[in-house]
Structure 1
């Protein structure tokens, strides 16, 4: 008498595939792949995926990979516009009420930016409306944080980051690092950021067009705020009143991160935003 063999069927597809995994693999890998197969098969059954649609999806993913190089990551862009990047970020950076929220890092951060004294102007190309960015870094009890490192960057007045225009923009344009003193205060001068479209000349842009979605991000300044013994914040401050706040192409806006932009005088703006960072959990 032969043992019953569990052959693949439409009804039991998920069970058969998951049963093929070895017994000695990583428990975390087993959990992740079991869930992935479960939901992937459920999706295909739910929409009754056609052979033509499956083939188009394979072609789409192939073209997405072919767009990736040292300067462009189309798969991250795909993750961004599907909201997956923001979801993973939210799952991994749950913070108590009152602490500054995270948002996506984005593809244009460059390590090693120059460190400047407080008040330095980081706009090197002479374009855009001048803006003074000020605020304080505090802990959850309201105490100022000395030695907090604030890494900042944004696009220029034409909507491009310096790394997108090598040879056109000065290196380190609209980038800099500042370290707080005993009062936890920071200040630097840059430009009032402008909104811009994410790269939409590839498969992800074609998908957005097919879905009737635009590729635009609201104007924002990027911040990474870190201090010894505290959780690092990766976030933006968004320009209040921007037309794309409610429909950011990568879903990065949170209401707590919208900063008021006030006219400082006839030629400049001022944006004030305080960061609240929490103690890092001890390593287990």
Structure 2
């Protein structure tokens, strides 16, 4: 007499119909309840995916080979797994869930792989472009709370690609170390300002398995032009975000889905010879002004 599905699960016998129940039953003695919850869900969704797609053994081996190649190319300076998470939209989804903000607070986006933790601290007005190359730009703004009150002493960790689409860490020996990076502090009115160059769009690393997957899907590897910021202040939620240029051809097709409409800034052309001379810029130059709105710790998103 054949066993019922319930008997099969109790006996631990694996069938197509009982696959999820049999596997998750093995998690019963997990010491970490959160781990058990996560793995139970992972098994349910993965088995549902396999049952929907019905891959052949050869196709599943291609998947395993892809994941193996992703691991092999990952190193201390290249994180192909994060890249895979990025191009699947998972990084942005996790970021959105983990950073729900009250109305009006500055939205977050992905950190990216090119942040460094030891960028130099500068006084407001400093020029972070160390090689003098690129279209000159003045960045100004304020840091305020959700009621519009200025936040003094907020730190703004800034980094960006140059006008050729490369970060300094990608061109060691070509760009100066710490080029287009710096940490600034808002003054007593919440204001900050610094000099830089207008950023350019650039491709994510596309010479590995993730790049091959993008090409097979008919997708490009480009990120739209942006400036990175981490804005932090005591008693407030830290914001990791970008400012995007409005004229970039990849604004609506970011390879990692990092663009949010509220983060598209107004990069204006300023024709003012006297102001340009004061800044040490050729005339005209670019200026962007932005207000970062931080939520107090515990303020949370509205229910």
Scaled by the length of structure 2, the TM-score of the pair is 0.91
CA distance in 2 between counterparts of 1:208 and 1:19 reads: 37
Partner residue of 1:7? 13
Match of 2:137 among 131, 136, 157: 131
Unmatched segments (≥5 aa) in structure 2? 1-6, 272-282
Partner residue of 2:175? 169
Match of 2:25 among 11, 16, 19: 19
Partner residue of 1:217? 223
Equivalent residues of 2:206, 2:221 under 8 A apart: yes
Partner residue of 1:46? 52
Residue 24 of structure 1, CA deviation: 4.6
Q: CA RMSD in A?
A: 1.3
- 3-state DSSP of counterpart to 2:184: strand
Partner residue of 2:212? 206
Aligned positions of 1:142-153 closer than 5 A: 142-153=148-159
Partner residue of 1:95? 101
Equivalent residues of 1:131, 1:191 under 8 A apart: yes
Match of 2:73 among 39, 43, 67: 67
2:284 is the counterpart of 1:267: yes
CA distance in 2 between counterparts of 1:109 and 1:159 reads: 15
Deviates more, 1:23-32 or 1:104-113: 23-32
Larger radius of gyration: 2
- 3-state DSSP of counterpart to 1:152: strand
Match of 2:128 among 118, 122, 137: 122
Partner residue of 1:28? 34
CA distance in 2 between counterparts of 1:161 and 1:125 reads: 13
CA distance in 2 between counterparts of 1:51 and 1:214 reads: 30
- 3-state DSSP of counterpart to 1:276: strand
- 3-state DSSP of counterpart to 1:17: helix
Equivalent residues of 1:129, 1:267 under 8 A apart: no
Equivalent residues of 2:246, 2:265 under 8 A apart: yes
Match of 1:55 among 47, 55, 61: 61
- 3-state DSSP of counterpart to 1:206: helix
User: Which 4+ stretches in 1 moved above 4 angstroms?
Assistant: none
Residue 233 of structure 1, CA deviation: 0.3
Partner residue of 1:240? 246
CA distance in 1 between counterparts of 2:130 and 2:29 reads: 58
Partner residue of 2:276? none
Partner residue of 2:279? none
Partner residue of 1:105? 111
CA distance in 1 between counterparts of 2:109 and 2:99 reads: 9
Unmatched segments (≥5 aa) in structure 1? none
CA distance in 1 between counterparts of 2:64 and 2:47 reads: 16
Scaled by the length of structure 1, the TM-score of the pair is 0.97
Residue 264 of structure 1, CA deviation: 1.3
Partner residue of 1:276? 293
CA distance in 1 between counterparts of 2:25 and 2:87 reads: 33
